[in-house]
Chains A and B, each alone.
Chain A
């Protein structure tokens, strides 16, 4: 499950949608629920307060009206001592004329009615069979001890008694309003007696039960000590109080509510189930005359029943909505996850190196579609990169390719100063040779040659800087620093020369002309780095030493490896030097020493075989036409000259005019009639001797056509046979 959750975007999205909508919905629902509850509660509170205040007001009015009657009697008795018959009649009228009054008495202090009468209390009340009279002076009913008499007497103020169960008359719960009256003195401090009016609490109960509070709600009254005066549950009346219920139910809050009801004029509170068995709201208002409190109870669940119903409906709707949302989100998530999974598989395959990825089934045009498209184009890019890497790999070492492709800064333009060893090679007479070849021949020729050379360069960790036609500029010691770059350079150059033998063997087998390569090796300080523009750049080297190497190379003849003095200085102990040339170089003062190296010892240990180069005097001079070649272009008129001596790689020409040393020549072999025989070769003038007829120039062949090679070999064979019997 956990795995599934972590691994699946569909699961995450679904969960997110579910969680999010659940959160939002519950927030909205809670808010609306509490808000609507708040409104209802406020309305209920208002209605409840109004109800209790109006009912309490009504009861208060009734009490006030009742109070007037005994007060009137008391006033009368304060002005008039009262005789028995008048008093009795008066009391009788009070009871008979007032339906609300259950009974009325006038109780006197001892000796207050008449001297010698210790107790006098005429009492009229409504018995089951009509109005009844009684003197409340029997010994078992000592009215002086009764609260209705004693308390107003002590307080010297009228007041309502607690409700009490009257066993005397009609077995009813009643309540007595007592008004003390005083002796007819100025100070009104001597209580003469008490006038009472009893009321049955039945009418209160009826009044309250007629009130439609709300479904399940009801009203009740408590006395000023918290005792229930009325309550829909008759067993509570007079027996229990708010406080006894609080104690029995162990509900301190109910006690607090009871106290508040006795001490405050009105209020609205929430109560627990102690009173009604359910949580409820209770509004109360004081009935000031008796000091009682009227309360209306509203069961909480009834009040909120409507909200509850609405809430349940809303929750059901929300659940259905969320379920639908869930379905949709699963669909959406799947439609997103499926192409993503396909791409995961594809990416895995790409990681395995398989770039033939088909994501065409992902047709959407959204971000995922674009991602798929980007992925496809990325694999295309990777294919392209691989192709480039493959291509470059032929010319660059892995290190450079990696550095360029993988390093973040690898492709930054810019360079660094570095001492490197560079080699420059060139095929002697190649340009001239190509003029007689088909383009296909030129390319296959070059590919074979360059392929071999690059292979050797890579083997020695050389970096191919440039290949221009048949010329190669390569260096060692950058970008990867190589401690032994001079040795590598020289060894590589020698190996390349050796490689030429292989190529020439193949060429000869195919009837192609033999080629000679010259190589120059130089060590010096250059700048290496990415050279070029953003669009086209290469890792290469620049500096005067590069140019110097090029110039050095122009002094080299085929098969030669010329090493500069700086390179030589580094390696002189292990180099096998055949010859030292001292040449004048443009821009360089004095002679420049160039070392013709044939081998290197030490770890690389490469040598090229010393080719037989001894000139053989020719018995029959071979006429040739020579053309001066300047910068690989054949210029100047053809001159007639003769090979007087020759070897496989060089020859001695008798020229009727002056030739300069290091001049390049195109030499076309002629027959006796001075017509071209088809054989031709290219050569460099390596030394010139002035003679009477002109000059005698030693030339080193750089390129010899097959026909020319054959002709020269025949001439040499003839000469040597003759020369060596």
Chain B
């Protein structure tokens, strides 16, 4: 008699707990703006460590890449969340796609221009009339501001996926992400002291990069859900930078699955640079916050380069913690 009661009670508790859990559990997907690498370590770690699950989110991490433009996918409803540069986000918003920024992960520019010292480039002025390899679209913005600042006329050679054009001597200088291509250059046998490096952020160019976005509708329907997603993502980032080896194991697994042909040394570099980029001045409390001044600067830049006509209102755009 007592045994039966206990069994029934157990089944009841389990089923209530189970259904209760399932009731809060919401499916969602995240599309990073590029192929799996440590640039997205925080999300990979949060997923693998169950931080999203802890937040009641059944997340699917979609594979990013050139064939998956994140905002397009977001607008098309193929992804609940995406990552993207602030400038892209602003442009999307200005052009009518109702996206909102729910967190600003990389709060400054990781973009840099790299040149061989042997090509005679030692200071910004030396870039005048040189061939500079630049990626298209938004990657072009900050370097263009830089050239304008120093009144440089450079011969821009479109750069696509790799730095091999630079390594083969096709260009005198190339744009590179600090956390990615710069290390590729270093690990192609060029030493730091053989290179001249211009960090755009060092020249007063405010250009926050990776942020988390969703459609305004998603946010309006369930701001709490969006907040939980952001918190779990930030928790993932904090865990990743504090548990480097574990995070790298996770990142490497994702990279292997995507055949990106990377190596651990490269991902370690990238993770460490992400650590430098996401925890900037102001300490952990400012993690994920979008700076209105930087927003204005990027907006102005987009207007100046005729990407947009008008800068959307900050309040409409930024729905994350401020």
Contact = CB atoms under 8 A, between A and B. Distances in A.
A151 B184 CA distance: 17
A151 B170 contact: yes
A259 B261 CA distance: 21
A504 interface: no
Given A140-B67, A150-B165, A165-B261, A225 B170 contact: no
B185 to A, nearest CB: 9
B26 interface: no
B259 A165 contact: yes
Given A165-B261, A248-B268, 11 more contacts: A147-B162, A147-B164, A147-B165, A150-B160, A150-B165, A155-B169, A161-B164, A162-B162, A243-B188, A255-B189, A262-B189
Contact of A154 (B162, B165, B187, B266): B165
Among B164, B168, B259, find the residue whose CB has the most chain A CB atoms closer than 10 A. Answer: B168
A429 interface: no
For chain B, the bracket of interface size reads 20 to 34
Interface string A243-265: 11101100000010011001100
11 contacts: A142-B66, A147-B164, A147-B165, A150-B160, A154-B165, A243-B187, A243-B188, A244-B263, A244-B266, A259-B189, A259-B191
B301 to A, nearest CB: 25
For chain A, the bracket of interface size reads 20 to 34
Nearest to A173: B261
A167 B257 CA distance: 13
Contacts of B169: 155
A226 B266 contact: no
A391 B165 CA distance: 118
A247 B183 CA distance: 11
Contacts of A147: 160-162, 164-165
B264 interface: yes
B262 interface: yes
Contacts of B67: 140
A247 B188 CA distance: 12
Interface string B158-192: 10111011011111000000000000101111010
Contacts of B161: 145-147
B123 to A, nearest CB: 25
Given A147-B160, A165-B261, A247 B187 contact: yes
Interface in B36-68: 66-67
B265 interface: yes
A134 B103 CA distance: 43
A155 B187 CA distance: 22
A225 B164 CA distance: 8
A140 B167 CA distance: 26
A239 interface: yes
A604 interface: no
The 5 A-B pairs with the shortest beta carbon distances in the complex, nearest first, are A225-B188, A243-B187, A145-B160, A244-B265, A247-B265
Contacts of B189: 225-226, 242-243, 255, 258-259, 262-263
Given A140-B67, A147-B160, A154-B157, A226 B165 contact: no
A146 B198 CA distance: 26
Nearest to A258: B189
B264 A244 contact: yes
Nearest to A162: B164
A470 interface: no
B265 A167 contact: no
A501 interface: no
Contacts of A247: 187, 265, 268-269
A240 interface: yes
Interface in A145-202: 145-147, 150-151, 154-155, 159, 161-162, 164-165, 167
Nearest to A142: B66
Nearest to A263: B189
Interface string A112-123: 000000000000
Contact of A241 (B168, B187, B191, B259): B187
A255 to B, nearest CB: 8
A32 to B, nearest CB: 40
Contacts of B191: 259
Interface in A207-230: 224-226
B169 to A, nearest CB: 7
A258 B157 CA distance: 29
B171 to A, nearest CB: 8
A239 B263 contact: yes
A552 interface: no
A625 interface: no
A577 to B, nearest CB: 121
A234 to B, nearest CB: 12
Among B160, B186, B268, find the residue whose CB has the most chain A CB atoms closer than 10 A. Answer: B160
